[in-house]
């Protein structure tokens, strides 16, 4: 696992030292840079496979016609190496060298053979071409700046900025989308001319021109016709295979254990294939409603893991919240970034690699929003008079008793007849278009033109799919890489920790996408097949399998209205974004309403807090 950086198109050599220093945390074990005519590649290395100096990057092939800078893990690199050994002579045991020769042998088609998480750029000295790739699900980041033939790329934007020669400009539309979605949707980043390479895509740079191409996407249209027992057998064997492959490492491997279904199943499988006692880690809160540590302890005891946990308080939040923008160089409004940072720091004290349960919800329909999709489908079949009465009741309830629950009910019933991709945004949105625009400064509002954040998912919608499959497809293409994986990669790599997610194995996901929807969710019951497998194979006790999903959240509303009230208000209102993005008077009134009413739009407040810190660090002039 590493950090990568480089450029092409510069008229003269620009040292990469400052850029490499900005991502040193991603690879504290080693670093290097190589310069060519108008091209440079740099790398910081976290040694996981082949700890020797032979794994140093950037790395050449034997005749020095190809050079690579690479971040990630290829779990099947040994199998690929066997296919290449008769033709190519390897000098190391690293997966980096395998990618180099796989590209030399098969070109772009080498991507079909790679199973893992990766972002890499290869410079072909003969063709004077840069080939840059991001893995299928977006587990590893690849950001780039492109303008007037100049290309700068890196694992993190903070490594791009020193090479720009000045501060970047604000992308107003990206910020407008962020306030609704809680993340910046690909390819935007929040900065003009700086982009995210989409998951499952590669770029080609040649003669100062850049083209981006898709090489993989998940197919939900082709369903397999299997019996229930056949599905159980297939899913179990795929999970076992994936977990086993994710254990490959030359350093100790642990696990982040929340006590939820997904991470607990991963630990159960790890215990089957690991030859050593597993190190597990969890975060708890002093507020019992948010604390999952008793469940994590129960699973730890069941599988005899060496368990370490940390209790988080509002003081811990206050100490770390201002530091979040040192890690996150895109705006992110997901409040679980804070416990993710803390559990990554905790785990990194004992291991270099940890497995997670990420991807279980997106595969098996585990989020509450999928229940809303089911309920909406049920109501859509009801007589129109019923829908009208339900909407009237929802509006009346919100007017008489405005709170978080009645607001969500009103929002749900108001969008029943919308296009699916619009109402799906509506289920999950933070700020509505109307509320956002009421807070903006006149100048900022004008700069947005006719942007409508509620149309963000329209390009992913497929009318041939069921609403549930559309929801899963949308989340896998957007929320998963742009929020969840951005959050976990950034936090873990800050502390030199590599996180691996067996549920994001692309082969496993292709099979789950071919599963009928009713095996994942029925009415209010989510993750049906995964729960059945865990129960029938005695992987976990019933109280773990069937407990309500909590999520990796923090008791922020209690903290924001209590010990953090002054900090939140001061940080937002003193930010340079006031005046530039928001009208001061309107923002003061919005914050005042939050503290005086029961609406409890604390997620919106957290998004504003994160945006203010990000703006002041990267854009305030």
Q: Is-contact 145 160, C-beta < 8 A? A: yes
User: For 230, what's the count of Cα atoms within 13 Å in the CB-facing half-sphere?
Assistant: 7
CB neighbour list of residue 174: distance below 8 Å, 6 or more residues apart: 184, 185, 188, 189, 190, 191, 331
Which residues are 28's β-sheet partners? 45
Long-range contacts, stretch 250-253, CB < 8 angstroms, 24+ apart: 250/47, 250/48, 250/49, 250/50, 250/51, 251/47, 251/48, 251/51, 251/351, 251/352, 251/353, 252/276, 252/279, 252/350, 252/351, 252/352, 252/353, 253/278, 253/351, 253/353, 253/354, 253/355
Q: How far apart are CA 141 and CA 143, in angstroms?
A: 6
Question: Nearest to residue 308, comparing CAs of 357, 359, 342?
Answer: 342
Partnered with residue 35 across adjacent β-strands are: 40
Sign of torsion over alpha carbons 185, 526, 258, 231 = negative
Total residues found in the chain within this entry: 621
Give the E-state strand segments of 351-485 in sequence order: 353-355
Query: Across 270-422, where does the E strand assignment appear?
Result: 279-285, 306-312, 353-355
Active site residue 2: yes
State how far the Cα of 592 lies from the Cα of 565, in Å rounded to an integer: 11
78 Cβ partners below 8 Å, 6+ apart?
A: none
The residue whose two tokens read 């997106």 is: 362
Sheet containing 150-154: give its strands across: 30-36, 39-45, 2-8, 150-154, 143-147, 194-196
Given the residues 2, 84, 161, 544, select the one marked as catalytic: 2
Is residue 132 within 8 Å of 144, Cβ to Cβ? yes
CA dist 258 and 181 (Å) reads 25
CB contact set of 385 (below 8 Å; sequence gap of 6+): none
* Residues catalogued as catalytic: 2
């Amino acid at each position: 696992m590493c950090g990568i950086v480089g450029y092409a198109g510069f008229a003269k050599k620009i040292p990469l030292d400052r850029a490499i220093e900005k991502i040193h945390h991603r690879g504290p074990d080693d670093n290097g840079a190589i310069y060519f005519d108008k091209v440079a590649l740099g790398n910081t290395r976290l040694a996981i496979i082949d700890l020797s100096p032979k794994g140093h990057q950037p790395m050449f092939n034997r005749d020095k016609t190809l050079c690579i800078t690479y971040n990630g893990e290829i779990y099947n690199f040994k199998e690929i190496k066997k296919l290449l050994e008769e033709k190519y002579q390897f000098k190391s045991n690293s997966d980096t060298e395998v990618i180099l020769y796989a590209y030399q042998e098969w070109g772009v088609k080498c991507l079909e053979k790679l199973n893992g998480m990766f972002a890499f750029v290869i410079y072909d000295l003969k063709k004077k071409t840069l080939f840059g790739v991001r893995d299928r699900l977006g587990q590893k980041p690849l950001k780039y700046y492109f303008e007037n033939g100049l290309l700068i790329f890196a694992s993190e934007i903070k490594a791009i900025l020193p090479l720009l020669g000045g501060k970047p400009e604000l992308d107003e539309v990206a910020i407008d989308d962020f306030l609704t979605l809680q993340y910046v949707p690909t390819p935007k980043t929040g900065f003009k001319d700086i982009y995210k390479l989409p998951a499952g895509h590669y770029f080609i740079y040649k003669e100062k021109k850049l083209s981006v191409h898709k090489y993989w996407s998940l197919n939900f249209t082709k369903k397999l016709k299997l019996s229930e027992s056949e599905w159980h057998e297939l899913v179990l064997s795929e999970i076992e295979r994936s977990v086993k492959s994710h254990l490959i490492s030359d350093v100790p491997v642990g696990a982040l254990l929340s006590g939820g279904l997904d991470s607990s199943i991963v630990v159960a499988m790890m215990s089957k294939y690991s030859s050593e006692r597993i190190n597990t880690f969890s975060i708890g809160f002093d507020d019992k409603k948010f604390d999952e540590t008793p469940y994590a302890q129960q699973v730890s005891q069941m599988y005899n893991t060496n368990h370490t946990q940390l209790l988080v308080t509002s003081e811990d939040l206050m100490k770390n919240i201002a530091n979040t923008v040192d890690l996150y160089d895109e705006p992110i409004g997901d409040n679980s970034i804070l416990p993710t940072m803390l559990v990554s720091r905790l785990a990194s004290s004992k291991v270099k690699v940890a497995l997670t349960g990420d991807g279980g919800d997106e595969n098996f329909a585990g989020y509450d929003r999928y229940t809303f999709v089911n309920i909406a489908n049920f109501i859509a079949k009801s007589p129109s008079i019923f829908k009208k009465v339900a909407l009237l009741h929802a509006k009346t309830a919100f007017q008489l008793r405005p709170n978080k629950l009645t607001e969500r009910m009103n929002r749900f019933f108001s969008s029943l007849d919308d296009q699916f991709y619009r109402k799906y945004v509506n289920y999950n949105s933070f700020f509505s278009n109307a509320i956002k625009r009421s807070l903006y400064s006149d100048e900022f509002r004008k700069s947005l033109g006719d942007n409508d954040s509620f149309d963000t998912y329209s390009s992913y919608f497929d009318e041939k799919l069921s609403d549930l499959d559309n929801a899963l497809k949308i989340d896998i293409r957007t929320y998963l890489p742009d929020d969840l994986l951005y959050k976990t990669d950034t936090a873990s790599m800050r502390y030199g920790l590599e996180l691996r997610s067996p549920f994001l194995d692309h082969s496993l996901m292709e099979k789950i996408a071919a599963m009928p929807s009713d095996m994942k969710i029925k009415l209010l019951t989510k993750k049906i097949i995964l729960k059945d497998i865990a129960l029938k194979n005695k992987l976990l006790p019933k109280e773990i399998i069937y407990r309500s999903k909590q999520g990796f959240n923090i008791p922020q509303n209690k903290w924001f209205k209590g010990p953090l009230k002054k900090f939140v208000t001061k940080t937002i209102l003193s930010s340079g974004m006031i005046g530039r993005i928001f009208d001061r008077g309107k923002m003061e009134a919005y914050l005042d309403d939050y503290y005086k009413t029961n609406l409890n739009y604390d997620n919106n407040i957290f998004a504003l807090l994160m945006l203010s810190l990000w703006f002041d660090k990267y854009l305030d002039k």
